[in-house]
Amino acid sequence: MSILVTGGAGFIGSNFVLDWIAHVGTPVVNLDKLTYAGNLENLANLHDDPRHIFVRGDICDRALIDDLLQRHKPRAIIHFAAESHVDRSIHGPGEFVRTNVEGTFTLLEAARAFWSSLPTEEKDNFRFLHVSTDEVYGSLGPTDAPFTESHPYEPNSPYSASKAASDHLVRAWHHTYGLPVLTTNCSNNYGPYHFPEKLIPLTIVNALAGKPLPVYGDGQQVRDWLYVKDHCSAIRRVLEAGKLGETYNVGGWNEKPNLDIVHTVCTLVDELRPKPDGTSYSTQITHVSDRPGHDRRYAIDARKIERELGWRPAETFQSGIRKTVQWHLDNPDWVANVQSGNYKDWVARQYAQ
């Protein structure tokens, strides 16, 4: 009764694999290409655990996917693998189209062939769960209602456009071929093992290193923040009881401007790791030119998953962000190891201005 997880060495994927082994305990076949954001150190606790079967490979490799499905016969595919950083998609959109669109297509076709060959009972129990983002819905005005599952798709970046395309493929494979799919669209995740190019881990890492804390534009871009372990529990719940073909928005009910996030992180680091001279890390905040096409506000209406499946986030932003900052302070070796030469070159190039 194994499951196949794609992208299970990345930020959300590795948290999901760790939580699955802890809460469910059945085997996980973990397929990850180990690009810059994939890190096996995230899964060090499972190094000798026979329930975790790691395979390095590309979701665009159809022969590999077919082989894994035939050998392990998973009851579900949980599809996290994606290029996911908007800034990187602006500089190099080709990889986003390849991984997010072509990779999802390859997985769907492999899953369809495998599912079609299963005996009736196993066929009825099989699931393909596609993990997506709220960014496919576009941008909201200050007083607009949050995104619901019926909100039209209006992606504004190469990243969100590629994820929107993958969502449409998943929907089409259900309606055309009957493939038993589920889709989740989540808001901004934060928590342990977050690669430090995103706002919260970048702020923590740069604060401790005495570097500038870059904030795009006026910093008033609003996001809904979801603690990653809450996201993992939501995915488990959707896999367990979600209605086939349906989409479930997963949010944290925590809308906050980016600048407020940075100040909150600074206040916590001030408390937990104060500077010797007593000054605040907030003095390192530096406003930089806004990125092209920067969406102003995202907000998730997560009432459907609560109403139909009984799920709500367990963490408030206050409790989740404290755990996140403390984790980074408690794991300096992980933080140091993840900052490879490629990462440092990327940050230097992105925030050179």
Query: How many angstroms separate the CA atoms of 293 and 170, rounded?
Result: 26
**Which tens digits make up the pLDDT trace of 41-80?**
999 999 899 999 999 999 999 999 999 999 999 999 999 9
pLDDT band of residue 87 (cuts 50, 70, 90) is confident
Average pLDDT, the chain: 95
Give the pLDDT confidence score for residue 302 in this predicted structure: 98
Contact predicate 211/286, CB 8 Å? no
Mean pLDDT confidence for 208-227? 96
pLDDT at residue 353 greater than cutoff 60 = no
Q: Which residues contact 84 (CB under 8 A, 6 or more apart)?
A: 10, 37, 133, 159
pLDDT score recorded for residue 85: 79
- At residue 43's C-alpha, the angle toward residues 318 and 60, to 5°, is 105
Query: With left for phi above 0 and alpha for psi between -120 and 50, is residue 31 left, alpha or beta?
Result: beta
Average pLDDT over residues 240-264: 97
What's residue 341's pLDDT? 62
Cα distance between residue 327 and residue 35, in whole Å: 23
**Residue 339 pLDDT class (50, 70, 90 cuts):** confident
Mean pLDDT of 100-128: 98
What was the pLDDT predicted at 351?
61
Averaged pLDDT for residues 305-320: 98
Mean pLDDT of 286-292: 91
**Whole-number pLDDT of residue 84:** 83
Which whole number is the average pLDDT over 123-149?
Answer: 97
Task: Return the percentage of the chain with pLDDT > 90, whole number.
Answer: 88
Reduce the secondary structure of 56-69 to three states and give it as a string.
ECCCCCHHHHHHHH
345 against 245, higher pLDDT: 245
> CA–CA separation, 168 vs 153, rounded Å?
10
CB 43 within 8 A of CB 9: yes
CB atoms closer than 10 angstroms to residue 2: 17
Question: Which pLDDT belongs to residue 172?
Answer: 98
Name every residue whose Cβ is closer than 8 Å to that of residue 328 and which is 6 or more positions away in sequence. 201, 204, 205, 335
252: pLDDT strictly greater than 90: yes
Half-sphere exposure of 131 (CA within 13 A, CB side): 28
Average pLDDT for residues 152-164, to the nearest whole number? 96
Give, rounded to a whole angstrom, the gap between the first and last alpha carbons of the chain: 51
How far is residue 325's CA from residue 318's CA, in Å, rounded to a whole number? 11
Minimal CA–CA distance to 228: which of 51, 21, 11?
A: 11
CATH number for the domain formed by residue range(s) 3-190+228-252+295-314? 3.40.50.720
Percent of the chain residues topping a pLDDT of 70: 96
Q: Residue 343 pLDDT more than 60? A: no
Question: Rounded to whole angstroms, how far apart are CA atoms 100 and 102?
Answer: 6
> Which DSSP letter does residue 297 get?
B
User: From the CA atom positions of the chain, what is the Rg in Å?
Assistant: 20
Helix, strand, coil share (%) of the chain residues, nearest 5: 50, 15, 35
User: Which pLDDT belongs to residue 158?
Assistant: 94
Taking only the tens place, the pLDDT of each residue in 314-327 is 999 999 999 999 99
pLDDT at 312 over 60: yes
Per-residue pLDDT tens digits for 170-196:
999 999 999 999 999 999 999 999 988
- Burial (CB count within 10 angstroms: exposed 0-12, middle 13-18, buried 19+), residue 55: middle
Question: Does the pLDDT value for residue 217 go beyond 70?
Answer: yes
Please name the residue that has the structure tokens 């299970």.
Answer: 8
Looking at 37-46, 92-101, 105-114, 160-169, which range is the least confident one?
Answer: 37-46
Q: How far is CA 201 from the centre of its chain?
A: 14
Q: In 3D, which of 169, 198, 193, 253 has the Cα closest to residue 44?
A: 193
Q: Mention every residue, 6+ apart, whose C-beta is less than 8 A from residue 266.
A: 203, 207, 213, 280, 281, 282, 284, 285
Q: Are 130 and 181 in contact (CB under 8 A)?
A: yes
Give me the residues paired with residue 285 across strands. 213
Residue 218 clears pLDDT 90, i.e. is over it? yes
- Active site (catalytic) residues: 134-135, 159
